[in-house]
Chains A and B, each alone.
Chain A
Amino acid sequence: MARAVAEPDARLLPGRYAEAQERLAALRRAIVFAVLLMGTLLLVWAGIIAALDVPHYMAPSPQAVWGALTGEWAVLSKALGFTLRSTLAGMALALVLALVLAALFTFSDLLSRAFLPLIVILRTAPILAIAPLLIMIFGRGQATSVAVVVMVSVVPLMVNAARGFRSAPANVVELMHVCGASWWQTFQKVRLPFAAPYVFTGIRMAAAGAVLSAMLAEWLSGAPGLGTLILEASSFRRLPLMWAGVVISMAASVSLYVVTVQLERKMTR
């Protein structure tokens, strides 16, 4: 009877914390690398523009972009605020929707088999194609941006949450049943906590594309965010402003990712 002791999945929680720590360290290394790389690129960029005498209407110098960043900060920060609000509202809404859907799919196999493929297929429709419909329903304001972020984020969030809900060990679920627990009690006390690491994976995946989705929505609807600012700056040939917008949107994406990693680290402590 010298069998190995069957350890329960206790490694899950410390593991999650350690993983988040590791991701943060990797991120720090990546940022240092990115800063060095950007610095080099900026130098090369400035050098080429000076050496070849590139006209400013083709490519602005880094100094000009920096000038736009500081000079037009009021305009830029207003646009950034709009885009970030769309992004965060969209992700929050998508998270709630994804958790509810995934819970329904965990509750009923039939629902899952009927609707999961449908949702995944719907998601493959290009946003561009359904944009007129979205604008008709949600108008040319922030609501369309939020809707697009929800549409893009909900699938990775839902798929990961559903996988997480199913990751609860069969014995534990069975034990809850024998204790006379209701479906909701089992869900809340067992499935939800076991799903937490999966949900965070979903959030990280969704965060990567969320800012871009919000900007895409602005290109379609014309709502006053970073996307529209970049588009207009480009069509008016205000290249330094356009590049300033690009830099800010990239910084926003990276920051959002860092925030999700930090959040996971806090919550799995």
Chain B
Amino acid sequence: MTEIVLSDVSKRFRLPDREVTALDGITETFRSGSFTALIGPSGCGKSTLLRLIADVLPPSTGEIRIGNHDPAIARRSHEIGFVFQDASLLPWRTVLDNVSLPIEVAGKAPARDPRALITMVGLAGFEQARPSQLSGGMQQRVAIARALALEPKVLLMDEPFGALDEITRQRMNLELLDIWKASGTTAVLVTHSISEAVFMADTVLVLSANPGRIAHRIHIDLPRPRRLEMMRLPAFNAVENDVRAALFDDGTRVPA
């Protein structure tokens, strides 16, 4: 199974004039098949944490294991799916060819049919469209379909819906939960939205800045499957308030 384990991980960046400690003493286990949300002020190291897990950057100290392997091994065996805030599509490729990109890279039989993925993210009929012909929300769905193309064991998302309007965002959230449930992938979602974090996750990790640390772990006991109506329940609002309190009352100043 694909558990992500971080043991006493820290990350420092050397700048010309000083050193920045982006993350310090991060010890955390992301259970296999769980959904975790990361929330915290800008600059607290959320993106850095995802990049460490994805083997884009090496940790300065500590160790990261993905399903008992080094992240580099997980990455090279194409087990990691990544979604950025901007869709980062290749403008000259069609939707279909963008979704197929990881399959081309891996050079093996597709774990999933790209056309089925496109249908799943609600873009059936747009297979031959170019990214420039799509709205921001549609482009982001293409990016999610692309991240799922190799049936990743780990799905890392860095504010994937940050640029979308509220309605599109909620629809995408529901779709993403269905996809996650069906695929059994271990998901980590960075978000700025408290309600999105509570709605999606089993566990919300609240990070504090300077240095980036896990300040609070909040378990969300709402039943699954999650439904939009739940957002009006007192229980949902109570958890939201817990997260809000954790985010604002941990002694660090939160930039507006």
Binding site for B on A (CB under 8 A): 1-14, 169, 171-172, 174-181, 185, 189-190, 193
Q: Which residue of A lies closest to B192 (CB)?
A: A1
Q: How would residues 126 to 163 of chain B score, 1 for a CB under 8 Å from any chain A CB and 0 otherwise? A: 00001110011101000000000010000000000011
Stretch from B9-17, B22-30, B102-110, B244-252 contacting the other chain: B102-110
Report chain A residues within 8 Å CB of B56.
174, 177-178
The answer to whether B101 touches A6, judged by C-beta atoms less than 8 angstroms apart, is no
The answer to whether B105 touches A171, judged by C-beta atoms less than 8 angstroms apart, is no
The answer to whether A178 touches B54, judged by C-beta atoms less than 8 angstroms apart, is yes
Binding site for A on B (CB under 8 A): 51, 54-56, 75-78, 80, 82, 84-92, 101-102, 104-106, 130-132, 135-137, 139, 150, 162-166, 169, 192-193
Beyond A1-B162, A8-B89, whether A175 also contacts B82 by CB under 8 A is: yes
Report chain B residues within 8 Å CB of A13.
91-92, 132
| Pick from A2, A7, A172, A179: contact of B102, CB under 8 Å | A179
The answer to whether B105 touches A180, judged by C-beta atoms less than 8 angstroms apart, is yes
Complex A-B, nearest 6 residue pairs according to Cβ-Cβ distance, in ascending order: A10-B132, A5-B136, A10-B91, A6-B86, A171-B88, A178-B82
| Pick from A4, A5, A12, A14: contact of B135, CB under 8 Å | A5
Bound Cα distance from A3 to B51, whole angstroms: 24
**Chain A: minimal CB distance from B86 (Å):** 4
The answer to whether A6 touches B90, judged by C-beta atoms less than 8 angstroms apart, is no
The answer to whether A14 touches B193, judged by C-beta atoms less than 8 angstroms apart, is no
| Pick from A3, A6, A193: contact of B92, CB under 8 Å | A193
Beyond A3-B163, A8-B89, whether A189 also contacts B101 by CB under 8 A is: yes
Beyond A1-B162, A1-B192, whether A14 also contacts B86 by CB under 8 A is: no
Bound Cα distance from A178 to B83, whole angstroms: 10
Bound Cα distance from A179 to B98, whole angstroms: 13
Q: Other CB < 8 Å A-B pairs besides A14-B132, A193-B90, 11 of them?
A: A1-B162, A1-B192, A2-B165, A4-B163, A8-B132, A10-B132, A13-B92, A175-B84, A180-B78, A185-B105, A189-B104
Interface centre among A4, A180, A185, A193 (most CB of B within 10 A): A180
Bound Cα distance from A138 to B66, whole angstroms: 59
The answer to whether B87 touches A8, judged by C-beta atoms less than 8 angstroms apart, is yes
The answer to whether B77 touches A180, judged by C-beta atoms less than 8 angstroms apart, is yes
The answer to whether B78 touches A179, judged by C-beta atoms less than 8 angstroms apart, is yes
**Chain B: minimal CB distance from A185 (Å):** 6
Report chain B residues within 8 Å CB of A12.
91
